Amino acid sequence: MDTLFQDKTHDEGRQGEALMLEPGNKNNGRKLYIESYGCAMNFSDSEIVASILLERGFETTTDHNNADVIFINTCSIRENAEQRVRNRLKEFAVAKLKNPGMVVGVLGCMAERLKSKFLEEEKLVDVVVGPDAYRDLPNLIDQVDDGQRAVNVLLSREETYADISPVRLNSNGINAFVSIMRGCDNMCSFCVVPFTRGRERSRDPESIVAECTDLYNKGYREVTLLGQNVDSYKYKSESQESESPEVVNFADLLSLVAQVSPELRIRFSTSHPKDITDEVLYTIKKYDNICKYIHLPVQSGNSRVLELMNRTYDREWYMNRIDAIRRILPGCAISTDVITGFCTETEEEHQETLSMMDYVKYDFAYMFMYSERPGTLAAKRYADDIPEPVKRRRLSEVVQKQQQYSHERLKLLVGSTQKVLIEGFSKKSDKDYCGRSDQNAMVVFPVAESYKPGQYVDVHIDRCTTATLIGVVV
């Protein structure tokens, strides 16, 4: 996703955080500003960065003009995301003219790939830090303070930041991301993540459960477990009572987190069709507080294209997993990712993607034209040979079909009663609350004094728009 997200941090967000600051720490009072672009993992990483720097005496600000240190946490998946970052860095350069001591840095996936361009060619940043090097940030900022440019993009096979309690940025106090793993071992030919985030490693389940328990005790009522491929989560711990290591898989982890409290909702992202098992589906069925919503990227409905993408499943396997979801979890919402115009994709193969959408009837989809990313396997092996107008036309057909099914899926819920977690006021009116159903549908309903954000309410659905359910509390 290349949507811009701004994690404009709050001083209020530090309430309840007992930060031990060293007397005379030169960073005491220095203002930190972070913006995040892209996926939920970047949001989670920004919260880790904030925690590390707040421990060193930094404070947060919502205005980059008042900042002493500015970081952009970046995505390298979509080309226009990179251009947005470049434009934003130029804006920060203007602010830096008024504050020559300002430190500007780039974090995350884009950092590794564009470090030389940002640091040396364009001289837009002072520091570049990869996703496994956030603990080194205080040292890198010190180097910049001493007049040097600083970079650390080394990847790790062990780093999970399991011991760091993230500072919840721009939080509503209700929903939170919890990272359960880092990196990716899948080598999808269109994707840069294995090169920018490194090898897959799973976080200690005890630390995950402890973080979720702490969030619940602080009033949070929904957590989203994050990983590039959550279904491949696997943590091996050496048991003192057994010579063989104890293995915790994703189904086990879901069960552990669900038992924190029946009032704590659990979501997760992202699943991979090659790894999602019936065991996971039956675990979701077992616990009412594990949401009946699965994001299962298909990318293409054609087996040959899927092989070129190195997705390691074919059309029939994907349909088998859809059938399993429908059988084990009736009414479960399913969303997906679709790429149109991948290398050598024919018109007939594009039609197979459309027919897959007809088969599944997705509730929601992220839809993109193929955009070649330097360093990926596809960029090395295949020509980006589908003309831009053809890509756009195919994307338009996918979008049009998805809009049809999104509306149809919502209409099926009209007349039903949905359990909704209130997240806050509707974007359009402070006379309405909004929240999400178990199936991740947005629900809008009138405000009343008897309920407030963070509470669950049963909402009778009277009608729907193309994207929203509308009803009243019963």
The band of 242, judged by pLDDT with boundaries at 50, 70 and 90, is: low
Q: Are residues 345 and 445 in the same domain?
A: no
Backbone φ, ψ for residue 332 (5° rounding) = -65, 135
Backbone φ, ψ for residue 335 (5° rounding) = -120, 170
Query: What residues are paired with 249 via a beta bridge?
Result: 234
Check residue 29 and give its pLDDT. 81
The answer on pLDDT for 468 being more than 80 is: yes
Q: Are residues 238 and 299 in the same domain?
A: yes
Question: In 102-259, where does DSSP find H-type helix?
Answer: 109-116, 137-145, 193-197, 205-217, 250-258
Pairing of strands 150-152, 222-226: unpaired
**What residues have CB less than 8 Å from 83, skipping those under 6 apart?**
none
pLDDT per position as a tens digit, 80-134: 667 788 888 889 988 888 888 999 999 987 776 677 777 766 678 999 998 899 9
Q: Tell whether 374 is covered by a domain.
A: yes
The reported pTM is 0.85
Return the minimum-mean-pLDDT range out of 162-176, 296-310, 377-391: 162-176
379: DSSP letter: H
Mean per-residue pLDDT, 33-46:
85
Portion of the chain with pLDDT greater than 70, in percent: 90
Mean per-residue pLDDT of the chain: 89
The answer on pLDDT for 20 being more than 70 is: no
pLDDT per position as a tens digit, 52-81: 999 989 998 888 988 999 999 877 656 666
Q: Are residues 210 and 264 in the same domain?
A: yes
Q: Report the distance separating Cα 411 and Cα 439, nearest Å.
A: 13
Q: Are residues 242 and 188 in the same domain?
A: yes
Check residue 123 and give its pLDDT. 79
The answer on pLDDT for 369 being more than 50 is: yes
Q: Position 131: which residue type?
A: P
Q: Tell whether 33 is covered by a domain.
A: yes
Q: Are residues 362 and 248 in the same domain?
A: yes
Angle between helices 250-258 and 278-286 (to 10 degrees): 10
Backbone φ, ψ for residue 391 (5° rounding) = -55, -45
The answer on pLDDT for 14 being more than 50 is: no
Angle between helices 315-328 and 278-286 (to 10 degrees): 20
Q: Report the distance separating Cα 395 and Cα 367, nearest Å.
A: 7
Check residue 122 and give its pLDDT. 63
The answer on pLDDT for 250 being more than 80 is: yes
Q: Are residues 400 and 424 in the same domain?
A: no
Q: Containing domain of residue 97, as a range?
A: 4-152
The answer on pLDDT for 316 being more than 90 is: yes
Tokens 């830090």, located at residue:
129
Pairing of strands 59-60, 69-74: unpaired
Mean per-residue pLDDT, 249-272:
97
The band of 41, judged by pLDDT with boundaries at 50, 70 and 90, is: confident
Q: Tell whether 163 is covered by a domain.
A: no
Check residue 17 and give its pLDDT. 30
Q: Are residues 255 and 368 in the same domain?
A: yes
Question: In 361-436, where does DSSP find H-type helix?
Answer: 377-381, 388-411
Mean per-residue pLDDT, 209-222:
96
